[in-house]
Amino acid sequence: MAVKDIAKEDAIYPGKPVVVGRYNLPARINHWITAASLILLALSGLAFFHPSLFFLTGLFGGGQNARAFHPWIGVVLFFSFAGLFIRFWRANLPEKSDAEWLAHTNDVIAGHEDRLPEVGRYNAIQKFNFWVMALLIIGLILTGLAIWDQYFYNWTTIPQKRVAVLIHSLAAVALICIWIVHVYAAIWTRGTLRAMTRGSVTGGWAWKHHRRWLKELAERHRTKKPAAPAE
């Protein structure tokens, strides 16, 4: 079993129900800063994507403010996601069981998770989203710097800026789509949101969705006696 799936804060708290610690407070804060940055970037970016969406600049106090805030929020997103990347990249490395899990996609959709291979901390779709988001965010920051004329005008030529704008726009649309899938999956899989709000999941949720991760926790004798997090 892969040690990379276990974080320092992971622990099993006996009780009724059993509660499993999954994310500590710094990880949750890091996650929500990233989420907030993505939402603000999507709103401000879409405002410049098409004239019919320009009204969204009102959320930022007007077009000038939206244009000024957008790249700085992008910088916040980059460093915030970098924190998540450093924390979780090992747990998102592909492995043989991922292909086996994907082969049972119909069972995933039908909710027959008892027929799936045992999953570690993250399943194949979660890993895919993680790496795609990482690549898209890198692409966005690089192209964003290329068109941030206030500070980096002389870095690129006009033709290069035009290409950067196109790539930046396409990457942004792709990232928004990935984010929507991420949010939908979190809502669709009942009990998932609790992990990023309370930092814990129930033992039943862990057994159903990430059984290998739960087994590794138990086998490493990381069970703790303090009272479980409040329901």
Whichever domain contains 125, its CATH number is 1.20.950.20
Query: What predicted TM-score, i.e. pTM, was given to this entire model?
Result: 0.87
Q: Distance of alpha carbon 217 from its chain centroid, rounded? A: 23
- State the Cα–Cα distance between residues 138 and 136, nearest whole angstrom: 5
Extract the tokens encoding 165: 């704008």
Inform me whether the pLDDT recorded for 138 exceeds 90.
Answer: yes
Q: How crowded is residue 230: how many other Cβ atoms within 10 Å of its Cβ? A: 7
209 is catalytic: no
Q: Is position 121 within any domain?
A: yes
Q: Which of 66-70, 162-166, 189-193 has the lowest mean pLDDT?
A: 189-193
Inform me whether the pLDDT recorded for 112 exceeds 90.
Answer: no
Average model confidence (pLDDT) across the chain: 89
Q: Is position 55 within any domain?
A: yes
Asked if 154 and 137 touch (Cβ cutoff 8 Å), the reply is no
User: What does the pLDDT read at residue 227?
Assistant: 52
The predicted-structure confidence for 20-37, as pLDDT tens digits, reads as follows 999 999 999 999 999 999
- The letter for the amino acid at 102 is L
Peptide bond into 17 cis (omega under 30): yes
Inform me whether the pLDDT recorded for 110 exceeds 60.
Answer: yes
Q: Is position 228 within any domain?
A: no
Q: Is position 65 within any domain?
A: yes
User: What does the pLDDT read at residue 3?
Assistant: 57
User: What does the pLDDT read at residue 2?
Assistant: 47
Domain count of the fold of the chain: 1
The predicted-structure confidence for 63-100, as pLDDT tens digits, reads as follows 999 999 999 999 999 999 999 999 999 999 999 889 98
Q: Is position 68 within any domain?
A: yes
pLDDT-based confidence at 108, cuts 50/70/90?
confident
Q: Which residue among 50, 70, 168, 182 is the active-site one?
A: 182
Extract the tokens encoding 134: 């990482």
Give me the domain span that covers residue 70.
Answer: 3-219
Distance set, CA 35 to CA 61, 73, 215 (Å): 21, 11, 30
Burial degree of 108 (CB within 10 A; 0-12, 13-18, 19+): middle
Q: Is position 224 within any domain?
A: no
User: What does the pLDDT read at residue 229?
Assistant: 57
- Cα torsion for 124, 126, 132, 133, to the nearest 10°? -170
